[in-house]
Amino acid sequence: MKKRMARLMAMSMAMALAVSAAGCGSSQTSESEESSSGGSGDKVSVVLATNWGEGDAKYDYFYPLFEKFQEENKDTMYITLQTYSTEDYKTKIKTQTASGDLPDVFTYWGGGMMTDMVDAGLLLNVDDYFAESESVKREDFEESSFDYYIAGDGNAYGVPIESTRGVLIANKNLFEQYGLEYPTTYDELVSVAEVFKENGIIPMSIGSNGGVPSEFFFSELYNQYEGGEDEIAALASGGNFDTDNAVKVAEVLTDMIDQGMFPADTMANGGWTNSLQLYTDQKAAMTYTYPWNYEFIPDEIQECTDIIPMPQMPGATVDPSTIMAGFTVYGFMINKASFEDEAKHDAVMKICDFLASDELTQSLTESGMIPCKNVEMNMDNQKLIMQKTMDYAQDKNLVQVHYTTMPSADAITMMDSSLDELFIKAITPEEFVQKVQDVLDK
């Protein structure tokens, strides 16, 4: 097979996620701990924490290399690996932030998700790590990928690992079966939806459970409106959520719900897994997703999947075929106290070098991860749908999502829970927007 090499760059975006994204993350519910054996008193004990546990798309690619790293360093360190499901992980880190007892090194989200840790002085300025590393340098990464981890003092407190792209995917077989073209306008989408509904097919598998995937879908639509891209970016520096565009998008979502475009029970069919499952079972013609979910799309569904532009929403002025959500979504952080502890320092450096290594980076791409580090990849080794994604992304203007720019975790949480309410029509579009703005005002 002819080898096709592609250099994947990170995106220029600021971010505040949750990988379950928003966001993305493991469905695993239990913590696992594994440590090297041995008994030398010269060994140092260190803790590496992540949500890349069993059930997460990255586990099968991360864990074998972690075991190899663990074996190579068994004479000098005991490594405890702690893995959690995404929501349990957020709770755990929040508790540890309050107690000042974070893991030595841990993968995590930036933006508003790291604010409390930065304010408490718990995280290391990553320039201190790069200054000492002999194998990893800051210039190895696309510089803009650090934006997600830059705090108010202008310093970066995380090393970016993963960037991503948002995609609307469509089952071409279902469209061909019912003689339909991919919709490019909202009116066309309404017409297409009617045909699918008449034949027992859900037009779009979009739900909202903890704001997933509704929050990212909301942002995708928002970027179509005049000034929307700038308004999303401005949130990171004190901008308002209460805008005309926010109300417009919420109204469009309400109309989509009224038109029956989404599953009847948006809560039960929310979350990345459930929304995607309807699509992979061919019970839904389209869905909105991210590459971290590609591991769960069967090969035969990848074959009949096309990546298509979002239809243009009513009153929108930006051509959706020219834009694509793209941003840094995940990385790792370093406990400042651990780094400054002479006994732990060398072990911490080694773990960081491992997490930022070309070997691990290249392996993780096979799970659907787009790397922030500039590495050469053989695209023929990637999943078919990833190849389609990267081909589609070539000429697109990358835009941010609200999750990347919300200035606090509380604002993200309120947006997520309020979207859940909006999707079951428990609140109006205006009430949804105001609830999020009230948190920002605090």
Q: Which domains does the chain have, with CATH numbers?
A: 9-163+330-380 (3.40.190.10), 165-326+401-441 (3.40.190.10)
Q: What are the structure tokens assigned to 402, written together?
A: 């609200």
Q: Above 70 in pLDDT, residue 55? A: yes
pLDDT mean over 135-164: 95
How far from 187 is each of 190, 311, 313, 314, 331, CA to CA, in Å?
Answer: 5, 9, 9, 8, 40
Beta bridge partners of 280: none
pLDDT tier at 18 (50, 70, 90 boundaries)?
Answer: very low
- pLDDT for the residue numbered 264: 96
Polymer length of the chain: 442
- pLDDT for the residue numbered 86: 87
Q: Average pLDDT, whole number, for the chain? A: 90
Of the listed ranges 135-139, 217-221, 326-330, the one predicted with least confidence: 326-330
- pLDDT for the residue numbered 179: 98
Q: Is 307 helix (H, G, I), strand (E, B) or coil?
A: strand
Cis peptide before 213 (omega within 30 of 0): yes
Q: Above 80 in pLDDT, residue 15? A: no
Q: Which of 275, 272, 290, 15 is nearest to 166 (CA)?
A: 290
* Prediction pTM value: 0.83
Say which residue, 302 or 20, is predicted with more confidence: 302
Say which residue, 20 or 324, is predicted with more confidence: 324
pLDDT tier at 41 (50, 70, 90 boundaries)?
Answer: low
Cβ atoms 297, 385 nearer than 8 A: yes
Q: What percentage of the chain carries pLDDT values higher than 90?
A: 83
Chain position carrying tokens 């030595």: 104
pLDDT digits (tens, 9 = 90+) for 375-405: 987 788 889 999 999 999 999 999 999 998 9
Q: What percentage of the chain carries pLDDT values higher than 70?
A: 91
- CA Rg value for the chain: 22
Q: What are the structure tokens assigned to 78, written together?
A: 């005991």
The angle formed by the CA atoms of residues 317, 321 and 325, to the nearest 5 degrees, is 90
pLDDT digits (tens, 9 = 90+) for 101-127: 999 999 999 988 999 999 999 999 999
- pLDDT for the residue numbered 380: 80
Cite the beta strand spans of 158-272 per DSSP E.
159-165, 167-171, 202-205, 208-209, 212-213
pLDDT digits (tens, 9 = 90+) for 248-278: 999 999 999 999 999 999 999 999 999 999 9
Give the Cα separation of 405 and 69 in Å (integer): 35
Say which residue, 431 or 11, is predicted with more confidence: 431
pLDDT tier at 5 (50, 70, 90 boundaries)?
Answer: very low
Q: Above 90 in pLDDT, residue 227? A: yes
